Amino acid sequence: ISWESPAALLEKVIAYEAVHPIKSWDDLKNRLSTDRRCFAFFHPRMPNEPLIIVQVALVHGIADNVQTLLDESAPVLDPTEADTAIFYSISNAHEGLSGISFGNFLIKRVVDELAQEFKNLKTFATLSPIPGFRHWLGGKLNEPDKDAEAELLSAAERKALATAAGTGTEPAALTSLLQTPDWLQNQELAKALKKPLMRLCARY
């Protein structure tokens, strides 16, 4: 799917996007730029009705933040210079097909196609939300009669988080930090939280 695709199809790409909502036509145009790719599966009898859609960014190195990929003001990379393809959104277009595993098959097809088109691509990765992680972590941290943070974190992590939280004491440092508004924008807090959150996320 490209910016030259029929407007009716592009409207469906906007409507069916379930991961990172497309805010405007300019946003969509950015996602269909020369350093981006958008693919979909179609049924032969429904050529203008996508069944599942995947969006890909062609970049240098593995991105760790989807906002950098969606930034409309970011410079456009020559796709022939990209060494990494990041799959940052995959959306089922129809609820009735949600039990059918199109996604894995589509990604494998796209990897093959991109590898043929761009010989410099060495790495293929997904950058995806993790549904339910925050709820799971909150449940673990709020278990009654337990020192949850002692179970979830190493002693060194607890000490680093207590320092970052400015509490000077270890209990509930993780809980306190996660309740801090915009902690991700605070470099010191984000750095302290990154390692334990990634490890807990892998456990989840």
CATH of the domain at 57: 3.40.630.180
| The domain boundary residue, chosen from 84, 108, 126 | 126
Q: Where are the alpha helices (DSSP H) in 41-186?
A: 66-70, 102-117, 133-141, 148-152, 155-165, 173-178
Please indicate, yes or no, if residue 1 is contained in any of the structural domains. no
Tens-digit pLDDT profile for residues 78-111: 999 999 999 999 998 888 777 777 888 999 999 9
Residues 99 and 30 in one domain: yes
Residues 154 and 114 in one domain: no
- For the stretch 131-136, contacts whose Cβ atoms lie closer than 8 Å and that sit 24 or more positions apart, written own/partner, are 132/204, 133/201, 133/204, 136/204
> Rounded to two decimals, what is the model's pTM?
0.74
- Please state the domain count of the chain: 2
Closest CA to 86 of 129, 119, 57, 123: 57
Helix 155-165, helix 187-203: angle, nearest 10: 150
Tens-digit pLDDT profile for residues 141-166: 888 767 777 788 888 888 888 787 77
Residues 180 and 93 in one domain: no
Domain that holds residue 79: 7-126
Instruction: Lowest mean pLDDT of 52-56, 76-80, 160-164, 189-193, name the range.
Output: 160-164
Task: State how far the Cα of 181 lies from the Cα of 186, in Å rounded to an integer.
Answer: 10
Q: What percent of the chain has pLDDT over 70?
A: 96
Please indicate, yes or no, if residue 57 is contained in any of the structural domains. yes
Closest CA to 115 of 40, 34, 76, 58: 58
Task: State how far the Cα of 141 lies from the Cα of 139, in Å rounded to an integer.
Answer: 6
Residues 140 and 168 in one domain: yes
| The domain boundary residue, chosen from 111, 126, 141 | 126
Residues 141 and 119 in one domain: no
Fill in the amino acid letter for 174: L
Residues 37 and 93 in one domain: yes
Residues 161 and 94 in one domain: no
